[in-house]
Every structure is written in C-alpha cells, then in structure tokens.
Amino acid sequence: MQLIINTYGTYVHVKDDMFEIRKPTKESYEKKYFAAHKVSSILISKGAALSTDAIIKAMKFNIDIVVMEHDGMPVGRFWHSRPGSTSKIRKMQLETSMNEKGVEYVVSWVSAKLNNQVGFLKRLKKHRKSKADYLQENIEAIENLKDKLNEISHTDIKEVEGTIRGIEGTAGRYYFSVLSQLLSERYQFNGRSFRPAHDQFNAFLNYAYGIMYSRVEKSLIIAGLDPFVGFMHRDDYNTKSLVFDFIEAYRIYGEVVVFRLFSAKKVNDSHTDEITNGYRLNTEGKNLLLEHFMKYFEEDKIKYKGKNQTRSNALQMDAHRFANELINK
C-alpha cells in the first residue's frame, strides 16, 4: 500500500516495530499503525513530520519516501544507497541520449502521448453525439500532427527538438480546449496553467501530474536508470530530465481521473483554496483526487502484454523494458 501524509501537523514515527501515524484532531490525536512489509511508498507533504527511525525502517524495507510541495510536485526523496542495476545501463543511457536512437525514443514517447489524447477523445465522442463533429475535427487535427511527428528522423535531438516541442504544444492546445468545452461552464478553463494553476481543473491536474512524476521516477530508479539523464530535456540543470521525457505516455492517467471527477460533478469549491493569482488543492481536494487516482492506478486492471495488470505494474514493466533495450537484453 501507499501511505499519503498530507494533513498539517501529522507525525510519522516507529512504535512497536510498526509505522505509527499520529494525525492531529480538535482535542488530541488519531493514531494508525502500519506494518512496514505492507508499505510500498510514503508520500509526505509540507507541514508533516517524519522521524529518523521511520526513515531508517523505510530504507531497510526498500520503501520509497517522497517529499512533496502542497501542489503535489515532488521536491526530494529518501532512497536506499544500493544501486538499482549495473552501471552498464546508465552508460548506455547517456550514450543513447546523444545519438539517433535517442531521437527515436523521444518521438515514440511524444507519439504515445498524442495517441492517448486521440484515444481519450474518441471514447468521449461515443457519448456526446451533439459534439461529435467538433470532437472529430480536433481528433483529426491531432492525428495529422502525430503523422508529422512520426516523419521526424535525425541523429541530433537538438536539430529537431524545436519541431517536436511545437507539434506537442499544438496538439496539447487542441486537446485541452476540447476537454474544457466538454465541462460545465462553471469549470471551463483557458489552456494549461502550472504554478499557480489559474483555475480549479488545472489545480487538480497539476497535483495528479505531481503524483505521476514521483511514480515514474521511482519506476526508472528501480529499473536501474538515471532520472537526471534525459533525451530531450537533458540540458536543464539539476532537473530529472528522463522523468519529464518518460512521463509523456502516462500523463493520460491523471487527465482521465481529473476529467471524470469534474464531469461526474464530484468537484466543488470546497476542494480548492484561492491563492495569489490562482488556486491550489486543499486537504479535502487532495483526498478526493488521491482516492480516485490510486484506485485507477494501483487497483483497476488493464489488458497489458496479454495479461491483466494494474497501470502501476505496466509502468514498471515499461521502465524495465526500456532499460533492457538500452543494453540489448
């Protein structure tokens, strides 16, 4: 299971060889206990506290600890010092980032992102007959961009990076414009906004992406890859560039969950707080999103490689496959 600590004043430590989570209430504390062997990761937001005993126990049980901002963006993690695999994977990762194969990977990741966008819009089209023509128009526009993307062939990512980003950005504008138009007028939004989010939809989406960043980084580390050695984002200083590259095919998970919450009218104004120039999720909003996201990501099954798998397992398998391809295994 995944422990998510996002209530201000919560304290995590070890008692009787178990994790004790002490959550403040109006009069005292609410305590819950979890056996270490049942915990896969701990996500903890600002304003909560973690004892060194809890950190050490987590390291012994290979439990990932991620420290997050209020908007869900991971800012750091505790991870055991043992390498995830041989150094050969990371050497080949660096080499591939600078040759033609690296360009092919970038194109495939962005192409998967656009393909997911098209697939989601097609599913939405089935149940929205009055907007079928509008949806089809945008579906075809994104498909045309995907065709242009798949025509790219070059040995140096720097020579085509601008073209790839341009295609990706244009497709995103089509895609998010459609999602906005399909929401109730109260929650429609004007494109993507980040930190801060200018609207409630983007506040939810940013937090969902933050969760995915953490899960993608963990999957890459387990597979023996270096999250800092990216292919298209590789020149950004102190940035986990491969995470930003690899996540493209999995952003759809957050988009589907957030869109469903809004279209099903499960979101209301009590789930976000207004801040300077925007919005952010409060505890109630985070709990709503996490409940639905974790079920979608960790519990619901999809058909993958001929077997029923959770989306979490599928992500980990993809990371391992990528690592093995780098060393021709």
Q: Is the pLDDT confidence value at 85 over 90?
A: no
Task: Say whether both 146 and 173 belong to one domain.
Answer: yes
> Closest Cα to residue 163, out of 148, 175, 176?
148
The secondary structure element, H or E, covering residue 113 is helix 100-125
Residues 191 and 155 in one domain: yes
Share of the chain above pLDDT 90, in %: 67
The answer, yes or no, to whether residue 109 has pLDDT greater than 70, is yes
Asked if 104 and 149 sit in the same domain, the reply is: yes
Give the number of domains in the chain.
2
- CATH code assigned at 165: 1.20.120.920
Q: Are residues 72 and 97 in the same domain?
A: no
Query: What per-residue confidence (pLDDT) applies to 237?
Result: 60
Of 40, 61, 78, the position where a domain reaches its end is 78
263-302 core/surface letters (b: 16 or more CB in 10 A; e: else):
beeebeeebbbeeeebbbbeeebbebbbebbbebbeeeee
Residue 112: is it exposed, middle or buried by C-beta count within 10 angstroms (0-12/13-18/19+)?
middle
Measured in Å, how far apart are the chain's first and last C-alpha atoms? 31
Interatomic CA distance for residues 132 and 78, integer angstroms: 48
Domain stops at, among 25, 51, 78: 78
Amino acid letter at 62?
Answer: N
pTM strictly above 0.85: no
CATH code for the domain of 26:
3.100.10.20
- Which of 220-231 are b and which e, b meaning 16 or more Cβ less than 10 Å from the residue's Cβ? bbbbbbbbbbbb
Report CA torsion sign: 67, 68, 69, 75: positive
Residue 261 CA from chain centroid, whole number: 17
Q: 95 with 68, same domain?
A: no
CB atoms near residue 197 (< 10 Å):
24
Query: Under 8 Å CB-to-CB from 197, ≥6 apart: which residues?
Result: 71, 203, 205, 206, 278, 279, 280
323, 85 contact by CB (below 8 A): yes
Q: Domain check: are 156 and 63 in the same one?
A: no
User: Among candidates 49, 58, 53, which has minimal Cα distance to 79?
Assistant: 58
Q: Indicate whether 18 and 44 sit together in one domain.
A: yes
Range of the domain at 150: 87-326
CA-nearest of 206, 138, 144 to 173 is 138
Average pLDDT, the chain: 90
**Are 277 and 317 in the same domain?**
yes
pLDDT digits (tens, 9 = 90+) for 233-277: 765 666 889 999 999 999 999 999 999 999 999 999 999 999 999
For the stretch 147-171, pLDDT in tens is 999 999 887 888 899 999 999 999 9
**pLDDT tens digits, residue range 36-84?**
998 888 888 888 999 999 999 998 888 878 887 766 667 777 876 655 4
Mean pLDDT, residues 219-231 = 87
Q: Are 279 and 158 members of one domain?
A: yes
259 and 174, same structural domain? Answer: yes
Write the CB contacts of 199 (distance below 8 Å, at least 6 apart in sequence). Answer: 187, 189, 190, 193, 278, 279
User: Of the candidates 24, 59, 78, which is a domain's last residue?
Assistant: 78
Q: CA 12, 292, 211: angle at the middle one, nearest 5?
A: 55
In this structure, are residues 72 and 208 in contact, taking their beta carbons and an 8 Å threshold? yes
